[in-house]
Structure 1
Amino acid sequence: MRLTSFTDFGLHVLMGMASTPDRPFTTAELAEEFRISRNHLAKVISSLSAAGYLETRRGGGGGAVLARRPEEILLGDVVAYLEADQALVECFLSGSAACTLTPHCRLKARLAAAETTFIANRNRSSLAECVYPPLNV
């Protein structure tokens, strides 16, 4: 399974923020630390916030902060959420007519099982096990 850069950025942001879980980080700080476009990072942070992994605060001293303890954030759940719109193969998309072999295909069920196993395996690890050293921001 290949992760999108969106998911990769999301995981890196969470691992970096987990080094100081109570500290709010601005988008500018994280963008500089990870060399990510601020606009793209804003979308990542918005998505992580919508999923309940981050809380965002406005105003002075504001920014994004972890909404849960790192031990409570499972990597597989994060990957599954951020990759929700990314089908492993075209025929996994609902209503997709991309595959003409579907009536005869014996691969789809095996690929779906592999994807489920991948996520379950990632859920053996929490964010706490992958924390970066404190960020230099």
Structure 2
Amino acid sequence: MRLTVYTDYSLRTLIFLGAKEREQLTTIQEISDAYNISKNHLMKVTHQLGQLGYIETIRGRGGGIRLAKPADEIGIGEVVRQTEEDFHLVECFNPESNLCKIASACQLKSVLHEALLAYLAVLDQYTIADFLQNKNLILSLLRQP
């Protein structure tokens, strides 16, 4: 299983915001600069994270973004499920585009589905808070005050 860049940026954004004090506002530009990633991509990511209720956006002068709920209430598995486009590990997982001639007899699909469920089950065991045990180091690596 490979996560999209979109999901990677979503998780990194949540970790960045979780490492900050809960009330402290951060800008998209700060996150972009800290990770050296595209501000345009982050704008899309933060928009969706806001719609999903993970972050809140404060508009206007002095505005910014911050976590909308405690980091220990943001499950990694849930975020991955909501930010990944699909979980079509192989062609036969997508009935609309499946052209595999052995799909009706193949048992690989069930094994891969079982593996996908196990993968998500592991992610479900963790929250953003689990990745903040060393938040001072994270912030120093990202050169944040």
Structure-1-length-normalised TM-score:
0.90
For 1:72 and 1:85, how far apart are their aligned partners in 2? 24
Matched, 1:14 2:14: yes
Give the structure 1 partner of residue 108 of structure 2: 107
For 2:97 and 2:42, how far apart are their aligned partners in 1? 30
Say how many residue pairs are matched: 137
For 1:130 and 1:62, how far apart are their aligned partners in 2? 26
Give the structure 2 partner of residue 65 of structure 1: 66
Q: What residue ranges of structure 1 are gaps of 5+ in the alignment?
A: none
Structure-2-length-normalised TM-score:
0.85
Cα drift, residue 50 of structure 1: 1.8
Mapping of residues 17-56 of structure 1, within 5 Å:
17-20=17-20, 21-56=22-57
Q: What residue ranges of structure 2 are gaps of 5+ in the alignment?
A: none
Aligned letter for 1:16? Answer: F
Deviations 1:30-61 (A, max 9, x none): 10011111101111111211221111121112
Deviations 1:97-119 (A, max 9, x none): 33222111111111111111111
Superposition misfits of 4+ residues, deviation over 4 angstroms: none
In 2 relative to 1, CA 50–87 (structure 1 residues): closer, same or farther, beyond 3 Å? farther
Q: Give the share of equivalent positions with the same residue, in percent.
A: 37
| Bigger mean CA deviation after superposition, 21-30 or 64-73 | 21-30
Give the structure 2 partner of residue 116 of structure 1: 117
Deviations 1:68-91 (A, max 9, x none): 100101111111111143522232
For 2:128 and 2:18, how far apart are their aligned partners in 1? 7
